[in-house]
Chain A
Amino acid sequence: MTASAPIAQPKRWLKPSVLPGFGLTFGLTLLWLSVVVLIPLIALVIRPWEMGLERFIDLASRPRVVAALRLSFGTAAAAAAVNLVFGAIIAWVLVRTEFPGKRIIDAIVDLPFALPTAVAGIALAALYAPNGWIGALLDPLGIQVAYTPLGIFVALTFIGLPFVVRTVQPVLEDIDADLEDAAASLGASRLQTLARVIAPALAPALLTGFALAFARAVGEYGSVIFIAGNIPQVSEIAPLLIVIRLDEFDYAGAAAIGVFMLAVSFAVLLALNLTQRWARRATGNES
């Protein structure tokens, strides 16, 4: 076949289609996205440059700010780690066992998504206060949860729970039963199969679930502030400090913390994206 005269089309950014409405829908999408999300976020992101990078760094490195950021990231990581373990167990139970009421349990896992955070916040505070149902049990043991960093950890564990379960569950469902049977037929023990066949297949989902739970927990506000006690440099989380700065009309101070948090959550998501891409290439599946 000889190549005929190259009348190849210039590369168009939009592939032509007979379906109508692209201009309208794409235009509206872009407009709305810009007005509601992009322009406001840009306004935040360029604040540090508006006020001068030095001032920004100064604001973001005050002891109270550093303490708040450290507390937020630390408790979020701890809560996400606990959710990693229990999320995996719950997902396993939901996929691999049968018991009466399982479907209800399956549905209830999403409650932290659906329950307004303020409601969760006051409920947890009431439970873990020294005179609350759980607090009263822990008090004699000398354990205080409410109004301490431990309380923050409890609240963040509550809101992060569904993330790990809901990312691991579908992957676990998709793991081919034959794979395990094959491993068993090749002489692998149950534990070996678990460690060498199932764990690697679940690893990307576990990581994703952890990162999502972490990202959510870092920014969480409503469920935390009621139980935290909010003592500066002890149990004051970063989002709360933003609110306090705003109440003081200290926009620069609020923006400095906000930018920093935004940067970290993007970094987490970016890292996550890259690992997922890497995992996809390594295993050659998962869309």
Chain B
Amino acid sequence: MSLEIDSVSKWFGAFAALDKVSLVGAEGEFLALLGPSGSGKTTLLRILAGLERPDAGVVRFNGEDLSGTSARDRRAGFVFQHYALFRHMTVAKNIAFGLEVRRGAEKLPKKEIAARVERLLALVQLDTLGGRYPAQLSGGQRQRVALARALAIEPRMLLLDEPFGALDAKVRRELRRWLRGLHAEMGLTTIFVTHDQEEALDLADRVVVMNNGRIEQVGAPADVYGRPANAFVYDFMGGANRLPCDVRGGVVTFGGFAASTGDHAPGPDRAALAYARAHDIRVAPEGQPGLPATVLAVFPAGGQPRVECRLGDGQVVEAAVRTGDPWPALGQRIALQPERVRVFE
């Protein structure tokens, strides 16, 4: 139990940016804060770094209350969303900054600082660029300088605000892989903020889904994706179809087709909306049990062959075609059989 966030609240005027947020991060854990823009991710990260003061609640590190510790003394490696590199310093100077401002007994000799900067430059694969200014770097390079600068102070935790937000897709994927390797190597408790669910699921040990200043769900990527706690999380993970269903005696049916809800109880008897992902909806011939639908488009290419179809109520739904199942034709009438669904209260 290294990092503990205990009922932290933050208000901006009458607006609650964080509403009693609690979270425990284990030593060396790689956590993703995932949520839509404005959900309070940056605010939480800034509170951890000591850049913002919570209006209520405490943050503890290894049991020590950090409330009285200023940003300066927290030793939280913070990587800003837009990097916040010192524009008038070279890359090497940027990285050395945290070491050069040390006082008293912590002061390091110049040689030692230079050696450490060299090591960090090598670590972030920018060996030859120490003399450049931030303006002369690409986005991905700036990101890595910001990271090296944060690592230079030997932080107790690493906080990254949308580390890949401003980068193009290819660079983003490369950096993602590189960051995971780096984390594995250093074992530093790391929290990174993202609004990209794929990134969070790919990278993190655990994903923290936030919305409106609250935590909606915390869990391993497979859990959050496979067993979303509520409609918001399901929606946010992507690919959600909303299908009308009947709940009776704990069984969810679609036009006579019974779906599995796994370990999630669908609640009392009623007509409800079920959530299902495309690959959990099977395309069956017309006349079989299931939701009647008309095929609008077929997408045979790509990782997952899909069809787009319209339900009787006009709603458009995506479903998968299993290997071996026949491809439906455009305009053909079919039955949709949602095999695994979730029904939220």
Touch between chains A and B, by CB atoms below 8 Å: yes
* Residues of A near any B CB (own CB < 8 A): 1, 4, 6-9, 11, 16, 18
Nearest-neighbor residue (CB-CB) of A9 within chain B = B11
25 examples of A-B residue contacts, CB within 8 angstroms:
A1-B212, A1-B214, A4-B16, A4-B19, A4-B20, A6-B14, A7-B9, A7-B11, A7-B55, A7-B56, A8-B11, A8-B13, A8-B14, A8-B16, A9-B11, A9-B13, A9-B55, A11-B13, A16-B53, A18-B50, A18-B51, A18-B52, A18-B53, A18-B70, A18-B71
A281 to B16 CA separation, bound complex (whole angstroms): 31
Other 12 A-B pairs with CB < 8 A, given A4-B16, A18-B51: A1-B212, A7-B9, A7-B11, A7-B55, A8-B14, A8-B16, A9-B11, A16-B53, A18-B50, A18-B52, A18-B53, A18-B70
Question: What's the nearest-Cβ distance from chain A to residue B235, in Å?
Answer: 15
Contact partners of A4 in chain B: CB under 8 A: 16, 19-20
Contact partners of A6 in chain B: CB under 8 A: 14
Question: What's the nearest-Cβ distance from chain B to residue A56, in Å?
Answer: 46
Question: What's the nearest-Cβ distance from chain A to residue B186, in Å?
Answer: 27
Nearest-neighbor residue (CB-CB) of A10 within chain B = B13
Please give me the 6 A-B residue pairs with the lowest Cβ-Cβ distance, nearest first: A8-B14, A9-B11, A18-B71, A18-B51, A8-B11, A1-B212
Contact partners of B212 in chain A: CB under 8 A: 1
Contact partners of B11 in chain A: CB under 8 A: 7-9
A6 to B9 CA separation, bound complex (whole angstroms): 11
* Residues of B near any A CB (own CB < 8 A): 9, 11, 13-14, 16, 19-20, 50-53, 55-56, 70-71, 212, 214
Contact partners of B14 in chain A: CB under 8 A: 6, 8
Contact partners of A8 in chain B: CB under 8 A: 11, 13-14, 16
Question: What's the nearest-Cβ distance from chain B to residue A51, in Å?
Answer: 47
Question: What's the nearest-Cβ distance from chain A to residue B159, in Å?
Answer: 14
Contact partners of B71 in chain A: CB under 8 A: 18
Question: What's the nearest-Cβ distance from chain A to residue B67, in Å?
Answer: 13
Contact partners of A7 in chain B: CB under 8 A: 9, 11, 55-56
Contact partners of A18 in chain B: CB under 8 A: 50-53, 70-71
Nearest-neighbor residue (CB-CB) of B232 within chain A = A1
A4 to B212 CA separation, bound complex (whole angstroms): 12
Question: What's the nearest-Cβ distance from chain A to residue B42, in Å?
Answer: 14
| Listed residue (B13, B51, B56, B71) with the most chain A CB atoms within 10 angstroms of its CB | B13
A120 to B107 CA separation, bound complex (whole angstroms): 58
Question: What's the nearest-Cβ distance from chain B to residue A3, in Å?
Answer: 8
Nearest-neighbor residue (CB-CB) of B19 within chain A = A4
Question: What's the nearest-Cβ distance from chain A to residue B178, in Å?
Answer: 31
Nearest-neighbor residue (CB-CB) of B9 within chain A = A7
Contact partners of A1 in chain B: CB under 8 A: 212, 214
Question: What's the nearest-Cβ distance from chain A to residue B60, in Å?
Answer: 19
Contact partners of B55 in chain A: CB under 8 A: 7, 9
Question: What's the nearest-Cβ distance from chain B to residue A141, in Å?
Answer: 60
A9 to B214 CA separation, bound complex (whole angstroms): 18
A18 to B46 CA separation, bound complex (whole angstroms): 11
A1 to B211 CA separation, bound complex (whole angstroms): 10
Contact partners of B20 in chain A: CB under 8 A: 4
A11 to B14 CA separation, bound complex (whole angstroms): 9
A111 to B280 CA separation, bound complex (whole angstroms): 76
A9 to B52 CA separation, bound complex (whole angstroms): 15
Question: What's the nearest-Cβ distance from chain B to residue A9, in Å?
Answer: 5
Question: What's the nearest-Cβ distance from chain A to residue B135, in Å?
Answer: 23
A1 to B214 CA separation, bound complex (whole angstroms): 10
A18 to B13 CA separation, bound complex (whole angstroms): 18
Question: What's the nearest-Cβ distance from chain B to residue A8, in Å?
Answer: 4
A248 to B9 CA separation, bound complex (whole angstroms): 68
A53 to B52 CA separation, bound complex (whole angstroms): 54
Contact partners of B51 in chain A: CB under 8 A: 18
Contact partners of B52 in chain A: CB under 8 A: 18
Contact partners of B19 in chain A: CB under 8 A: 4
Contact partners of B50 in chain A: CB under 8 A: 18
Question: What's the nearest-Cβ distance from chain B to residue A17, in Å?
Answer: 9
A36 to B278 CA separation, bound complex (whole angstroms): 72
A7 to B15 CA separation, bound complex (whole angstroms): 10
A16 to B13 CA separation, bound complex (whole angstroms): 12
Contact partners of B53 in chain A: CB under 8 A: 16, 18
Nearest-neighbor residue (CB-CB) of A12 within chain B = B13
A221 to B234 CA separation, bound complex (whole angstroms): 74
Contact partners of B70 in chain A: CB under 8 A: 18
A6 to B13 CA separation, bound complex (whole angstroms): 11
A4 to B11 CA separation, bound complex (whole angstroms): 12
Question: What's the nearest-Cβ distance from chain A to residue B136, in Å?
Answer: 27
Contact partners of B56 in chain A: CB under 8 A: 7
Contact partners of B9 in chain A: CB under 8 A: 7
A7 to B14 CA separation, bound complex (whole angstroms): 8
Nearest-neighbor residue (CB-CB) of A3 within chain B = B16
Nearest-neighbor residue (CB-CB) of A6 within chain B = B14
Question: What's the nearest-Cβ distance from chain B to residue A21, in Å?
Answer: 14
A11 to B12 CA separation, bound complex (whole angstroms): 9
A4 to B16 CA separation, bound complex (whole angstroms): 9
Contact partners of A11 in chain B: CB under 8 A: 13
A16 to B55 CA separation, bound complex (whole angstroms): 11
